[in-house]
Structure 1
Amino acid sequence: MTKNYPLYITLLLACGLTACGTTSSSRSQRSEGHYAFGKAPAAPASSRVAPVETQPVPVKPDQMARIVYFDFDAYTVRQTDRPIVESHARWLRDHPQQSLMLQGHTDARGGIEYNLALGQKRAESVRKSLELLGVESNRIEAVSYGKERLADTGTSEAAHQRNRRVEFEYR
């Protein structure tokens, strides 16, 4: 059973549906009020609320990781340890009075000379990364201890991994 609406109601409904499907240069007040899908309205001139700008919370060196680890017989900074180097670089850029000593270490395997050279390459690798991130080279010293200062005296692979490192020491 269909209802017979008066002609003017049918025309109004038809015109309203047609208006929804057409685009026009003028916007209705309803579409202006719903800005979740469009631009937000401009703030009134009488508004005295300042915009909020967020700044990263400064982190002190004693709150950051201070060791970067390396793979066996390698001296390139691992992808997973790059954020550590970046955080130290950020801190050093913000504190130009600070200097840093990078201490390169190796595990107990291999000769003394080889390990001293590898520890130096590791420290220099971190130094170069810091320089590329904007830290002046005269503020960074890279030294090697080779296998002289083991963090773990064990002989397992996990112990060797803990020894293949560069430590950050602020002065």
Structure 2
Amino acid sequence: MTKIKTTLVVAAMALAIAGCAKKRPAVLPPAPVDQATPVNPNAGQTPPTDGAVVPGSDADFRRSVTSNTIHFGLDQYDIDPESRAILDSQGAWLQRYPNVRITIEGHCDERGTREYNLALGDRRANAAKNYLAARGVSADRMTVISYGKERPVALGSDEAAWAQNRRAVTIVLN
């Protein structure tokens, strides 16, 4: 009798384990589609072959605005008067090209934890986005990303390098 009970318990456990096995679907779902495909205002136009800058391009943006980068103080994400002037010039350019999409990157210096710097970089990028949105640039045209301390522009462990790395950069998507 004990042998039968043991056999029944082992058989029941084997069935329970077999029933929990995850089965692979016969057809895999399609790969995700990128919903943030940038709009190129110059679609259908042939790029100039003489090295001229295409209106509405990232090169035109960098040439036309005061700067594509604003800087921040240590552990700060507020927009100072110098950054306001830079963002005002960016906003004016973006008003001329209403179909151009941008990404605003938030960056930090090397101090602090990875998690803290990712959050601070996000606040910096969003501060720039919110400022531009308040100046009439549609928020639908802007995306933000934080790189934290992962992409320094200046290498070094001194105040000069740290000051250059505390920034938000506006990139025109072509």
Q: Which residue is 1:109 aligned to?
A: 111
SS at match of 1:76: coil
How many Å separate the matches in 2 of 1:91 and 1:152? 28
Determine what percentage of the aligned residue pairs are the same residue.
36
**In the TM superposition, what whole-angstrom CA distance separates every residue of 1:57-107 from its partner, at most 9, and x where no partner exists?**
xxx412121100000000011111211100111111111110100000000
Q: Which residue is 1:127 aligned to?
A: 129
**In the TM superposition, what whole-angstrom CA distance separates every residue of 1:113-154 from its partner, at most 9, and x where no partner exists?**
000000000000000000000000000001100000011120
What is the 5 A alignment of 1:23-62? 60-62=60-62
Which of residues 163, 169, 172 is equivalent to 1:170? Answer: 172
- Aligned CA RMSD, in angstroms, stands at 1.2
- Runs of 4+ with deviation above 3 angstroms: none
- Equivalent pairs counted in the alignment come to 113
Q: How high is the TM-score relative to the length of structure 1? A: 0.64
How many Å separate the matches in 2 of 1:83 and 1:75? 16
Whether 2:72 is the aligned partner of 1:73: answer no
Whether 2:88 is the aligned partner of 1:86: answer yes
How many Å separate the matches in 2 of 1:106 and 1:144? 9
SS at match of 1:87: helix
Question: Which amino acid in 2 is paired with 1:157?
Answer: E
Q: Return 5+ residue gaps in structure 2 as ranges.
A: 1-59
Whether 2:161 is the aligned partner of 1:150: answer no
Q: How high is the TM-score relative to the length of structure 2? A: 0.63
Q: Which residue is 1:98 aligned to?
A: 100
